[in-house]
Structure 1
Amino acid sequence: MSAAADLMQCDVALRALIQQHLHAFSVEVGVRELQHAAAVAVAITDAGHGAGLPGLPRHAAWSTQAALILTRRASHLRKHAGQWALPGGRMDPGETPEQAALREMAEEVHLELDADAVLGRLDDFVTRSGFVITPVVVWAGAAPYIRPNPAEVASIHRIPIAEFLRKDAPLLERVEHSEHAVLRMPVGSGWIAAPTAAILYQFREVCIEGRPTRVAHFEQPVFAWK
């Protein structure tokens, strides 16, 4: 973990650092077909009340420690029910990835941001289920009033960025069905699987550490293929 991880604050200095690193990063874009194009918001916010996850302690109310907004998908959804996710979904006709990410975030967690909140993009990630996901990094600030849309989201979690800087991250597992390792990111006493984990790892490497790390080659667990 970086020496400053425990002191990482959601402030103008962090925003400037992330913008600097994204400006220097050359994004790799996948081949998008509209019906398979999606965008997700990698939203930086305050840790607030904490994530409430096993093995991950809660923080003081509306802590200013920097965190990312993640969700658990609703259990009744036809695809990827109950899985960890970043706010996002399919791109509508005529939308840019930035517009789609902001729209989906407003729909899923009731967080409405304008275009000025967008800091940049990470690499497109092509999933086993056939989607080309574009991660859009956005600055969400305190975001004190977010709440889940029960039609899509079971719960919202503000996970401190420091958690993604752990020395045991990422977790890589060799599997028989692929030449590439499955990537997971540990959180508390559990873990998050790719593709979400791959995006989180690239956010850590590019936006925080300033390393131009690629993740598109990493494998996903079989349960995430459908």
Structure 2
Amino acid sequence: MEQGTLLQSGNPGRGLDRADLIRRLAAGGGLGHGSDMAIAQLLGGEASRLFLADRPAAPHRPAAVLVPILDHPEGGSDGPGVLFTRRARHLANHPGQISFPGGRVDPGDSGPESAALREAEEEIALPPDRVELVGRLDDYITVTGFRVTPFVGVVTPPVALTPDPTEVDSIFEVPLAFLMDPANHRHGVREKDGKHRPYFAIPYGEYFIWGATAGILMNLYAILSGGDGAPVAPADAAP
């Protein structure tokens, strides 16, 4: 099967091949706590203090997501892309928001890895055998008390995907180079329940990627950039 060059020369989204991606993920991911600190460091100042203060205390409910990277053949499309879902608008929690395939770790799962693959198959019909898991990112603690374990998986096109309408409105792809370009990173502060909560955002056309999904992407960026991230600009609009 023809495989593309995952990342080419340039910013953190274009400077790595598949082997280097795996090496950096192995060196920088899976610590189980580092993402909160990395994200806080990128925020800086008062926003950093607010972000860390808003993390709920343990114990946290286990969850997992898959960060699927489509490895397009070299010369086709805009290079590698990341798959996202828009959550169904009838859902009680986070309706219409942008997310990765994933959910709670069920008792029948052997662990967060199997939960991420199971959820991806259930939500977007992505067969587990089409996913090459290449790394685990640091756990992300959500304000709702979940400990989310993200797994990065490479998928070689073509692959037929179908959203489960009970959970997903649509599936879309964003170029990895766009997501890893610091010029596209934003942050803001949202007031809810009397609290000021900092958040990251990566607007892309009609899609506003923010919250835990953007936070996980910022953790990936921190790993790929070697921690040498540029300052993050304020968001133009609140979610």
Normalising by structure 1, report the TM-score: 0.74
Deviation at residue 73 of structure 1 after TM alignment: 0.3
The match for 1:101 is 116
Contact 2:190–2:199 (CA<8 Å) still a contact in 1?
A: yes
Matched, 1:211 2:227: yes
Structure 1 vs Structure 2 CA RMSD? 3.2
Matches within 5 A, 1:12-23: 14-23=17-26
Task: Structure 2 unaligned segments of length 5 or more: list them.
Answer: 1-7, 34-57, 230-236
Matched, 1:120 2:135: yes
The match for 1:52 is none
The match for 1:80 is 94
SS of corresponding position for 1:63: coil
Distance in 2 (alpha carbons) for counterparts of 1:175 and 1:184: 12
The match for 2:37 is none
Give the direction of change, closer, same or farther, for the CA distance of 1:99–1:32 in structure 2 (3 Å limit): farther
Contact 1:108–1:152 (CA<8 Å) still a contact in 2?
A: yes
Normalising by structure 2, report the TM-score: 0.70
Matched, 1:29 2:32: yes
Contact 2:131–2:155 (CA<8 Å) still a contact in 1?
A: no
Give the direction of change, closer, same or farther, for the CA distance of 1:143–1:200 in structure 2 (3 Å limit): farther
Letter in 2 for 1:157: F
Deviation at residue 45 of structure 1 after TM alignment: 0.4
Give the direction of change, closer, same or farther, for the CA distance of 1:22–1:149 in structure 2 (3 Å limit): same
Q: Percent of pairs identical after alignment?
A: 33
Contact 1:168–1:186 (CA<8 Å) still a contact in 2?
A: no
Distance in 1 (alpha carbons) for counterparts of 2:161 and 2:130: 18
Deviation at residue 200 of structure 1 after TM alignment: 1.1
Contact 2:139–2:148 (CA<8 Å) still a contact in 1?
A: yes
Greater than 4 Å deviation, 4+ residue runs: 30-33
Letter in 2 for 1:22: L
Distance in 2 (alpha carbons) for counterparts of 1:153 and 1:162: 25
The structure 2 residue matched to 1:188, chosen from 202, 205, 219, is 205
Contact 2:184–2:202 (CA<8 Å) still a contact in 1?
A: yes
Task: Structure 1 unaligned segments of length 5 or more: list them.
Answer: 49-59, 214-220
